Amino acid sequence: MISMNQKCLGTMMKYISENFKNIQTFIFDLDYVLFNEDLYYFAVFEKVSDFLGLDSRSLNLMKKTYKKNKLISKDILGDILKSLNLYTPQLQEKFYEFYKNTYVPLSLYKDAKETLSILRKKNHKLGIITNGTLEAQKNKIKCLGIERFFDEILYAREFGKRYEKPHVKPFIEICKRLKIKPYQSVYIGDNPVIDFIGAKKVGFVTIRVLRGAYKEFKSKIYVDYEINNLYELLGAKYNA
């Protein structure tokens, strides 16, 4: 990897050319790889708080419950309502509607925006494969305003929940849509539990970025390389 003290577009682009000669396509996960998903949830919580007329203490409790349970909960919205002693099926459904439809301007991580721009300049094909509720994932893309970067955005829930990552189907499908070969493609994710199994079975090079909710997980199964930020994907190793 190349070490740099400042951004250098020419050096980055040369690194891609020399070290990714056989790589034509970069496919990314969305949440925590390209942006901080927590910010989306916090915006939803604020909308719900306003809707219910809650005070700042209750809003902080929502955020605290989310942070504590997001990796282990099978029903995070229900758990949050229960922490407030407000749970009803009807209110949970309303909460879910806010989760799917809340609009808030979101930004890519700085390293993600710059990396995508450089890869696009080098005429690489770019894509996203993301799990999750279809409406919510589409809404996140809308909030980020990033459609222009990508040749294909694949929402794995389109095929049904059973075919989301770690299933191979999303990876096979994106190869068909982009007309690419897996061995000439990289998949970049963050979750060692679900992101890399299907990608590796299909034949992708797999790269794990160590940040977000799963940063401290110590698994390297099905992971070819680990990086601390997306600058390192380009060989530009400096703090993001």
56 in the same domain as 18: no
Low-confidence ranges of the chain (pLDDT < 70): 1-20, 236-240
The answer to whether residues 189 and 97 belong to one domain is no
Statement to judge: residues 157 and 115 lie in one domain? yes
Taking every pair of Cα atoms in the chain, the longest distance, rounded to a whole number of angstroms, is: 58
Whether residues 163 and 219 fall in one domain: yes
Structural domain count of the chain:
2
Residue 68, both tokens: 């504590």
48's tokens: 């719900």
- 114 and 82 in a single domain? The answer is no
Q: Has residue 184 been placed in a domain?
A: yes
Task: Output the pLDDT for position 239.
Answer: 38
For residue 209, give its domain range: 9-35+106-234
240 belongs to a structural domain: no
Question: Residues 23, 122: one domain?
Answer: yes
What DSSP letter does each residue of 12-29 carry, written as one string? HHHHHHHH-TT--EEEE-
Alpha-carbon span 77 to 85, nearest angstrom: 13
Q: pLDDT value at position 31?
A: 98
CB-CB neighbours of 176 under 10 Å: 9
Same domain membership, residue 110 and residue 73: no
Q: Which of 84, 101, 118 is where one domain is finished?
A: 101
Please give the pLDDT value at position 6.
Answer: 46
Structure tokens at 25: 């396509």
Same domain? 46 vs 144: no
Please check whether residue 116 lies inside any domain of the structure. Answer: yes
Structural domain includes residue 97: yes
| 88 and 179 both lie in a single domain | no
- H-type helices in 53-83, by residue range? 56-69, 76-83
- Do 61 and 167 share a structural domain? no
- Please report whether residue 1 resides in a domain: no
The backbone torsions φ and ψ at residue 211, rounded to the nearest 5 degrees and listed phi first, read -160, 175
In a domain, 146, yes or no: yes
pTM: 0.90
- Buried b / exposed e along 13-36 (16+ C-beta atoms within 10 A): eebbeeebeeeebbbbbbbbbbbb
Which residues touch 11 (CB under 8 Å, ≥6 apart)? 2, 4, 235, 236
Q: Pick the closest to residue 124 from 25, 29, 206, 14 (CA basis).
A: 25
Say which CATH number the domain at 156 has.
3.40.50.1000
Domain boundary among 78, 101, 124: 101
Q: Is 151 a domain residue?
A: yes
